[in-house]
Every structure is written in structure tokens, then in C-alpha cells.
């Protein structure tokens, strides 16, 4: 067997077992208590104050650090006077940790709503045609307990007359 003659061979095979329920950060694992034992033995990986050694001792808590978001983007929104029931979501390359707080500037027109917990922009329920609106620039941003996704994403919203194809 390759490597079996190496004096460290047996100490390089470990079994990590979750010893209790995991704590969640939104949809992602945040931390959990694990045991680390040398495979095929009851020897645990223990910190003796100077180095890691085989022995018996407390389990390890493995924790995922809270993360900021990265690379926020938002597509331009083009609606037509007859548009109904559409919604739009910004995109993050790296979602980051929950909870997230979203904001938008300036305020959206009355026929759109904004969800500050998801960043979703949706059309309100209306039976009237939307008003023609020239392209207007908006900025959307997101933050969590770690930081924000720099810079805010710029996009436009416009409403145009609907012209059926010929």
C-alpha cells in the first residue's frame, strides 16, 4: 500500500462526525460540534496547549464565518403599458450570510413594490394600464451584519407603449 511505511501514515486518516444539531445561517450551515478521531481507533485529535496530539478531550466546534455579499447586479427593467404580474430579482455572485437588508433609491413608482428582505421588485395588482414612463435610473444595495456588496447596482426602469407585432 503506498505510503504505509511513512511514520505519519495512520495519523493522516481521520473520521469527523457531527455530534449534535447544526446551527443554521439562513439556508446555510453556520456551526456544529464535531469529533475528530483517528480512523480505526478511539484516539481523538486534541490540542494540548502547544500542538495537536492524539488523546482524549473535548470535541471541536467547526464554525463558518459570516460572509459579506459580493458582485451585486440588476438588469434594466422594461415594462409595457399592458404589463401585468412581473417581478425582478437582483443577482449576487456570492450570496453572503443572512439576514440581508435591501434598499433602493429613489422610491419606486406606485405600480411597483419593493421587498427589503429579498430585493424583489414586483408589479402591484392593478387592472389599469401602466403609465408611459421614460427610463429612470435607480440604485439597489444590500447589506448584512458583515458589510455590503459594493458598489450599489444601477439600473433603469421604463414603461413603453405596447405595439403588437405586425
Tens of pLDDT, residue by residue over 3-19, are: 445 565 555 577 777 78
> Higher model confidence: residue 18 or residue 72?
72
Residue 95 above 50 pLDDT? Answer: yes
Residue 53 above 80 pLDDT? Answer: no
* Residues listed for the chain: 166
Q: Which three cell numbers stand for residue 23?
A: 446551527
| Pick from 14-18, 89-93, 114-118, 121-125: least confident | 14-18
If one counts every other C-beta atom within 10 angstroms of the C-beta of residue 79, the result is 21
Alpha helices for the chain (secondary structure H): none
Is the separation of the CB atoms in 161 and 148 below 8 Å?
no
DSSP classification of residue 148: B
Exposure class string for 23-46: b at 16+ Cβ within 10 A, else e? eebeeeebebbbbbbbeeeebbbb
- CA dist 75 and 66 (Å) reads 27
Name the CA radius of gyration of the chain, rounded. 26
Average pLDDT over residues 131-141: 96
Average pLDDT over residues 112-116: 96
Residue 158 above 90 pLDDT? Answer: yes
Domains in the chain: boundaries: 10-63, 70-160
% of the chain with per-residue pLDDT over 90: 39
* Domain covering 70-160 in this structure, CATH number: 2.60.40.10
> Checking DSSP bridges between strand 14-18 and strand 28-38, what pairing results, if any?
antiparallel
Place of cell 435591501: 102
Amino acid at each position: 500500500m503506498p505510503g504505509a511505511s511513512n511514520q505519519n501514515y495512520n495519523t493522516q486518516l481521520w473520521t469527523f462526525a457531527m455530534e449534535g444539531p447544526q446551527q443554521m445561517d439562513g439556508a446555510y450551515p453556520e456551526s456544529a460540534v464535531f469529533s475528530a478521531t483517528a480512523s480505526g481507533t478511539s484516539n481523538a485529535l486534541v490540542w494540548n496547549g502547544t500542538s495537536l496530539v492524539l488523546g482524549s478531550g473535548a470535541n471541536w466546534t467547526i464554525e463558518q464565518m459570516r460572509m459579506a455579499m459580493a458582485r451585486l447586479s440588476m438588469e434594466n427593467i422594461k415594462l409595457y403599458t399592458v404589463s401585468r404580474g412581473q417581478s425582478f430579482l437582483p443577482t449576487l455572485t456570492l450570496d453572503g450570510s443572512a439576514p440581508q437588508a435591501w434598499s433602493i433609491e429613489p422610491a419606486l413608482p406606485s405600480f411597483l413594490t419593493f421587498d427589503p428582505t429579498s430585493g424583489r421588485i414586483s408589479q402591484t395588482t392593478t387592472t389599469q394600464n401602466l403609465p408611459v414612463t421614460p427610463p429612470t435610473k435607480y440604485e439597489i444595495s444590500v447589506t448584512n451584519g458583515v458589510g455590503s456588496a459594493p458598489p450599489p447596482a444601477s439600473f433603469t426602469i421604463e414603461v413603453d407603449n405596447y405595439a403588437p407585432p405586425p
